[in-house]
Chains A and B, each alone.
Chain A
Amino acid sequence: MGRDLEKKIWLYTIGIMIIGLIALYSASFENLRVSRQVFYDQLGCAVLGLVLMYLISRVDYRHFYDFAYIFYALNVLLLFLVLVGGRHALGARRWIDIAGINFQPSEVTKIAVIFLLARYFSKRRPRFLFDVIGKLEVVFTEIIFPFLLTGLSMGLIFKQPDLGTAIVIFGIFVAMLFAGGLKARYVLGFLGTIVALVPFGWHFLKSYQKDRLLVFLNPNIDPLGAGYTVIQSKIAVGSGQIFGKGWFAGTQAQLNFLPERHTDFIFSVIGEEWGLVGALTLIYCYYQLINCGLDVAQQLKDKFAMLMAVGVVSILTLQVVINIGMVMGLFPVVGLTLPLVSYGRTSFLAFAIMIGFLLGLNKRRTVF
């Protein structure tokens, strides 16, 4: 059983990577706008990623437990540094150079948040639920305090600005809060409070983020500006129809109608060139991988390990669903990568590492 699950995780991960490389090859080859280097970069990342996956899976996850808080603190520090002296690109500060390596700390934050919350929620605290003070204490220790901790990095990422990642981190928090076993009414109460506060959040959005949200509601208000990407990517995906236009035959992609088609909008290339068949194959791989992750979580007795698995699964699910949804115009455009498919070194390696966790947790399962 355990070996089987492990094999399946490897299989679907490699499958997703291969589909991504095929799409990236088509999106970058013989094209003036996107360098061919992008493809070779990603190929290197895939190899490195698989090695990392293997290495991480050999590490005893209890070491992660020990380092969880320190790791999170270091990440918050990095996010601070990004805001102070990070590199600009596309109107946002997201990148930073450390020891000659250029990367996006916000991608690492996803891992750090999983560590933080898995450790925090796995710790059992005495609960006195019989009086009001006890209830308030639960609310504070189980919800408000961890939310403030998570919110520290969330706020810093939001400030970059990177609305997509901030939303995903919020999603991780909710998923892990729920998986942690807190009474459902507390979870629902928390969600209700957040939803009620959302309208006030409008004022904190950057003008381009407001544009994107408005454009999401009606892309045609600005067909050449903010709405352009959505309109073109919808056309790309839709025009692929059932069997697609064929590799290198996607006119939307090959003739540069799609901006950002090698990064956030890579799915539109797959949809256009491989049609519904290709898109469903990729989605099937993700779905299976996520189910494997949940299988792992279900079989784990250790709460920290289980929460780690849930964290990984929730990130994967959120990014896949939000990314594909935004490409098809079902969600507003918030810069999020398609895991293991979009071009982007930090993101790619971060996901490889997270899947490495799943494998590692799976291995340790029988120890207890």
Chain B
Amino acid sequence: MRLKIIRLITGGLFGFIVAGLFYTQVIQGEYFFRLSVNNRIRVVPMEGWRGQIKDRNGKVLADNRLSYDVMVTPQEIGDSAELFRFLGAALGVSEQSIARRYGRKKNAPFAPVVIAQDISKEDAIIIEENKYRFPSLSVQESYRRFYPLGENSAHVLGYVGKMSLAQRDRFKEYGYSMESVVGYSGVEEYYDNYLRGEEGGLQIEVNSRGQQVRLLGVRQSQKGQDVTLTIDSEVQQDALELLAERVGVVIVMDMDSGEILGMTSSPGFDPNIFVGSRDASEINQIFADPLAPAINRAITGLFPPGSVFKVIMATAGLETKKIMPGTSFVCPGFYQLRKAVFRCTHVHGTQDLIGALAHSCNVYFYNVGLLLGADTITHYARLMGLGEKTSIDLPYEREGSIPSREQRRLEGRGGWHAGDTLNLSIGQGEVQVTPLQLVRLMTMVARSGWVVQPHVIKAIGDTPVDKFVDERRIKVDEETLETVRKGLRGAVADAEGTARVIGDLPDLYVAGKTGTAQTSGGRKNHAWFAGYAKGKVRNISFCVLLEHGGSSYNAAVLTKDLLLRMQEKKIL
């Protein structure tokens, strides 16, 4: 009896074990099998190199160059002291710093540790020749981003760098790995998907200590696609030279296609600094600079448009029939609104609309503003694309803002006064736009209301990108725009015009609007000149901004020089 019970208990215990075995091996078998595979297989990524970025003439703006990195494979290191001594002597750094770097970066026995990046070819040869003494040593060739033109087009191009931790988490699903190089800002970021090479890798089998046992497979890395931009590096070079030390923006766009020929923001930076920089202080310097050289002012900078805004006023006035082209106001040099005095630049006397645009008479537009009312002004500013992104194919574009009575009420910042309307009428106060929005505005005026999509991409690989043909037209009467155009032309051609410094140029029809935006804090005003030009080769629209550049005269001079240079190079 007792033995039978013992037999039963024994049987039960064995049954328990068999059930456990069945559960582990059959029901969970698949799962554990996967775990065992993951246990032993590691992938060592191999970076694919990025596609080139070229300008519209095929000139390479972003390239890859061969660089040499010194690697040490931990599992074969042997006498580390000896190795570090040799490397220290070869690279001209202290033995300790190499040992420190090795200790810090060591990860897995099979994963080579990068001891020094981007060494000279001579050093690489010396190290390569000593490989027989140190089997763990290797010199790996890799491709590194290189921007042959330096600062030229830096803001359009952006730069590359290692992924940040946050990006790593976000993009893991899309095949980016820990060590992926990704684009930051500019085309490098916007078209990163096309530019970045397909990562290859070595699949290796490792043992429990992570040492490589054998190579299971190799997948070659692939080069990314080349990207051709609409940018003309010659225009960019001229813009860079003309801006020189001044802070500002130059944008030149082919107004019939929306292709950006030039977009230069000053101060700029050399994107090469970001590529495997040995000295992080250079990068820090860029970000710490109060003038923010890394910011692309053309699309990210927000400025009051000043008198350029009068284009909106003229259009709104004519469209709403509050004024006619012949409507005149007398400018005594100031405008008195109750007790407040609003100044004009000169005593203009009697001005009609075209004259007021050409001479940039504030008093004329104060009157127009009060006739229109704030709501109508806001409506037309938005209609003509101010305070709205242009959706250019570059990251970090900002939309700016057009103040309105409604917005002010919603934000609970008190009422809207007539003085606010006057300020808005001459583009002062809270109105903020990007220089690119003014380029688009001028394009609408020049092209009878047809809207183009500004863009910098011309082709990806061999495929031209032509999806930017925009058939949208804003609802503004052609007669209205014709009148505005006369005013803009007057600014250049009229003897009293604000941009008369440009004057009549052979084979070039230039029209535009100057602007001098007042700034607070006693600093110099922003100088604007935005407009369009028709040459023998193409029609362009442009915008020049000199941040705290004083009088708009300066901006007009810069524009003239730039247009002449372009004409000389048969770009215009």
In the complex, are the beta carbons of B26 and A276 less than 8 A apart? Answer: yes
A214→B3 CA distance, assembly (Å): 35
**Nearest CB in chain B to that of A314: its residue:** B6
16 further contact pairs, Cβ within 8 A, besides A181-B2, A283-B17? A234-B24, A235-B35, A236-B36, A240-B29, A241-B33, A257-B40, A271-B24, A272-B36, A283-B21, A287-B14, A290-B10, A297-B3, A321-B14, A321-B17, A324-B21, A328-B24
Interface residue B13 (Cβ < 8 Å from any Cβ of A): yes
Chain A residues touching B, range = 35 or more
Q: A241-B26, A241-B30, A294-B10 are in contact. Are A255 and B205 (CB under 8 A)?
A: yes
Contacting A237 at CB < 8 Å: which of B10, B16, B24, B209? B24
B25, B31, B32, most chain A CB atoms within 10 A: B25
Cβ of B514 to closest chain A Cβ, rounded Å: 70
Complex interface bits, A217-252 against B, C-beta within 8 A gives 1, otherwise 0: 000000000000000101111111110000000011
In the complex, are the beta carbons of B3 and A242 less than 8 A apart? Answer: no
Residues of B within 8 A of A (CB): 2-3, 5-7, 10-11, 13-14, 16-18, 20-22, 24-26, 28-33, 35-37, 39-40, 205-209, 213
A344→B14 CA distance, assembly (Å): 24
Dominant SS at the B interface?
A: helix
In the complex, are the beta carbons of B36 and A235 less than 8 A apart? Answer: yes
In the complex, are the beta carbons of B28 and A238 less than 8 A apart? Answer: yes
User: Can you list 23 residue pairs at the A/B interface with Cβ under 8 Å?
Assistant: A235-B35, A237-B21, A237-B25, A238-B33, A238-B35, A239-B32, A240-B29, A241-B30, A242-B25, A242-B26, A252-B36, A255-B40, A255-B205, A257-B208, A271-B25, A279-B21, A283-B14, A283-B17, A291-B10, A294-B3, A317-B10, A328-B21, A330-B20
Cβ of A128 to closest chain B Cβ, rounded Å: 23
Cβ of A117 to closest chain B Cβ, rounded Å: 15
Closest 5 CB pairs of A and B: A238-B32, A241-B29, A239-B36, A255-B207, A256-B208
Complex interface bits, A117-159 against B, C-beta within 8 A gives 1, otherwise 0: 0000000000000000000000000000000000000000000
**Nearest CB in chain A to that of B207: its residue:** A255
A321→B18 CA distance, assembly (Å): 10
Interface residue A14 (Cβ < 8 Å from any Cβ of B): no
A272→B37 CA distance, assembly (Å): 13
Contacting B6 at CB < 8 Å: which of A178, A236, A330? A178
Interface residue A275 (Cβ < 8 Å from any Cβ of B): yes
Dominant SS at the A interface?
A: helix
Interface residue A313 (Cβ < 8 Å from any Cβ of B): yes
A321→B16 CA distance, assembly (Å): 9
In the complex, are the beta carbons of B13 and A321 less than 8 A apart? Answer: yes
In the complex, are the beta carbons of A235 and B39 less than 8 A apart? Answer: yes
A321→B208 CA distance, assembly (Å): 28
Q: A290-B10, A310-B3 are in contact. Are A275 and B25 (CB under 8 A)?
A: yes
Interface residue A167 (Cβ < 8 Å from any Cβ of B): no
Cβ of A358 to closest chain B Cβ, rounded Å: 14
Cβ of B291 to closest chain A Cβ, rounded Å: 51
B32 partner residues in chain A, CB cutoff 8 A = 234-239
B16 partner residues in chain A, CB cutoff 8 A = 321, 325, 330
A291→B24 CA distance, assembly (Å): 26
In the complex, are the beta carbons of A255 and B29 less than 8 A apart? Answer: no
In the complex, are the beta carbons of B31 and A238 less than 8 A apart? Answer: yes
Cβ of B338 to closest chain A Cβ, rounded Å: 77
A252→B40 CA distance, assembly (Å): 8
In the complex, are the beta carbons of A239 and B29 less than 8 A apart? Answer: yes
